[in-house]
Structure 1
Amino acid sequence: MIWRCATHEFDTKMPVVMGILNVTPDSFSDGGEHEGFEAALVHAERMVEEGAALIDVGGESTRPGAAAVTVEEELARTIPVVEALSKRGMCVSIDTRHASVARAAVEAGASVINDVSGFCDAAMVDVARASDVGLVVMHMQGDPSTMQDDPVYADVVGEVRDYLRDRAAALETAGIARERICVDPGPGFGKTAQQTIELVRNFQEFARLGYPVMAALSRKSYLGYAYKIDEPRDRDQVSAAEALMACELGASIVRAHNVGETVKALKDLRPYAVLGLGCNVALVAHPGEEREGKIALLNQAITELCSLPDSQIIDISSFYESEPAYYLDQDVFVNAVILMRTGLAPKELLKYLQAIENSLGRVREIENGPRTCDLDIIDYQLYVTDNDLLTLPHPRALERDFVVKPLMELLPGHVLANDVPVTGEAVTVGKAFKL
Structure 2
Amino acid sequence: MMWKCANFEFDSTRPVVMGILNVTPDSFSDGGQHSGFVEAVAYARQMVDEGAQIIDVGGESTRPGSAEVSVEEELARVLDVVRQLADLGLCVSIDTRHAEVARACVEAGAAIINDVTGFRDPAMVEVAKNCDAGLVVMHMLGEPATMQNDPHYDDVVAEVKEYLGGQAAMLEAAGVARERICVDPGPGFGKTASQTMELMRNFHEFNRLGYPAMVAVSRKSYIGSAYGISEPAQRDEASAQEALMACELGASVVRAHNVPETMKALKNLRPYVILGLGSNVALVANPGEETEGKIANLEQAITGLCSIPDTQIIDISSYYESEPAYYEDQDTFVNAVVLARTGVPPKELLRYLHAIENSLGRTREIENGPRTLDLDIVDYQMYVGQTDELTLPHPRVCERDFVVKPLLELLPNHVLADGTPVVADGAVYGKATKL
**Which deviations, in whole Å up to 9, do the C-alpha atoms of 1:4-28 show, x marking residues without a partner?**
0001111111000000000001100
Query: Partner of 2:7 in structure 1?
Result: 7
Query: Partner of 1:301 in structure 2?
Result: 301
Query: Partner of 1:173 in structure 2?
Result: 173
**Which deviations, in whole Å up to 9, do the C-alpha atoms of 1:264-283 show, x marking residues without a partner?**
11011000100000000013
Question: Match for 2:309: what amino acid?
Answer: P
**Which deviations, in whole Å up to 9, do the C-alpha atoms of 1:94-135 show, x marking residues without a partner?**
000000000110111100000000001010000011100000
Q: Displacement, 1:139?
A: 0.2
Matches within 5 A, 1:110-259: 110-259=110-259
**Which deviations, in whole Å up to 9, do the C-alpha atoms of 1:339-375 show, x marking residues without a partner?**
0100000000000000000001001111101111100
Aligned equivalents of 2:318, 2:248: Cα separation in 1: 20
Question: Match for 2:359: what amino acid?
Answer: S
Query: Partner of 1:43 in structure 2?
Result: 43
* RMSD, aligned α-carbons: 0.6
Three-state SS of the structure 2 residue aligned to 1:408 is: helix
Aligned equivalents of 2:274, 2:69: Cα separation in 1: 47
Matches within 5 A, 1:225-374: 225-374=225-374
Three-state SS of the structure 1 residue aligned to 2:255 is: strand
* Conserved 8 A contact 2:317-2:338: yes
Aligned equivalents of 1:393, 1:121: Cα separation in 2: 43
Question: Match for 2:84: what amino acid?
Answer: A
* Conserved 8 A contact 2:285-2:293: no
Query: Partner of 1:99 in structure 2?
Result: 99
Question: Match for 2:125: what amino acid?
Answer: V
Question: Match for 2:52: what amino acid?
Answer: A
Query: Partner of 2:387 in structure 1?
Result: 387
Q: Which runs of 5+ in 1 are unaligned?
A: none
Aligned equivalents of 2:201, 2:214: Cα separation in 1: 14
Q: Displacement, 1:388?
A: 0.5
Query: Partner of 1:427 in structure 2?
Result: 427
* Conserved 8 A contact 2:283-2:372: no
Question: Match for 2:335: what amino acid?
Answer: N
Three-state SS of the structure 2 residue aligned to 1:208 is: helix
Three-state SS of the structure 2 residue aligned to 1:152 is: coil
Three-state SS of the structure 1 residue aligned to 2:235 is: helix
Query: Partner of 2:78 in structure 1?
Result: 78
Query: Partner of 2:32 in structure 1?
Result: 32
Aligned equivalents of 2:428, 2:102: Cα separation in 1: 47
Question: Match for 1:284: what amino acid?
Answer: V
Question: Match for 2:347: what amino acid?
Answer: K
* Conserved 8 A contact 2:147-2:189: yes
Q: Displacement, 1:285?
A: 4.4
Q: Does the alignment pair 1:62 with 2:40? A: no
Q: Could you list the structure 1 runs, at least 4 aligned residues long, displaced by more than 4 angstroms after superposition.
A: none
Three-state SS of the structure 2 residue aligned to 1:313 is: strand
| TM-score for both structures, normalised by structure 2 | 0.99
Q: Displacement, 1:386?
A: 1.1
Q: Does the alignment pair 1:90 with 2:61? A: no
Question: Match for 1:117: what amino acid?
Answer: T
Aligned equivalents of 1:395, 1:104: Cα separation in 2: 49
Aligned equivalents of 1:424, 1:65: Cα separation in 2: 47
- Percent sequence identity over aligned pairs: 72
Aligned equivalents of 2:298, 2:285: Cα separation in 1: 17
Q: Does the alignment pair 1:23 with 2:5? A: no
**Which deviations, in whole Å up to 9, do the C-alpha atoms of 1:227-277 show, x marking residues without a partner?**
000000000001001111000000000000000110111011000100000
Question: Match for 2:97: what amino acid?
Answer: R
Aligned equivalents of 1:11, 1:178: Cα separation in 2: 14
Aligned equivalents of 2:307, 2:225: Cα separation in 1: 30
Aligned equivalents of 1:163, 1:289: Cα separation in 2: 39
Q: Displacement, 1:286?
A: 1.9
Q: Displacement, 1:387?
A: 1.3
Q: Displacement, 1:427?
A: 1.2
Aligned equivalents of 2:313, 2:324: Cα separation in 1: 27
Aligned equivalents of 1:263, 1:215: Cα separation in 2: 14
Query: Partner of 1:404 in structure 2?
Result: 404
Question: Match for 2:169: what amino acid?
Answer: A
Aligned equivalents of 1:88, 1:108: Cα separation in 2: 12
Aligned equivalents of 1:330, 1:272: Cα separation in 2: 33
Aligned equivalents of 2:434, 2:26: Cα separation in 1: 51
Three-state SS of the structure 2 residue aligned to 1:13 is: coil
**Which deviations, in whole Å up to 9, do the C-alpha atoms of 1:22-55 show, x marking residues without a partner?**
0001100000111111110111011000000000
Three-state SS of the structure 2 residue aligned to 1:275 is: strand
Query: Partner of 1:109 in structure 2?
Result: 109
| TM-score for both structures, normalised by structure 1 | 0.99
Aligned equivalents of 2:251, 2:6: Cα separation in 1: 21
Aligned equivalents of 1:8, 1:391: Cα separation in 2: 33
Question: Match for 1:287: what amino acid?
Answer: P
**Which deviations, in whole Å up to 9, do the C-alpha atoms of 1:158-197 show, x marking residues without a partner?**
0000000000000000000000000000000000000000
Three-state SS of the structure 2 residue aligned to 1:137 is: strand
Aligned equivalents of 2:142, 2:104: Cα separation in 1: 25
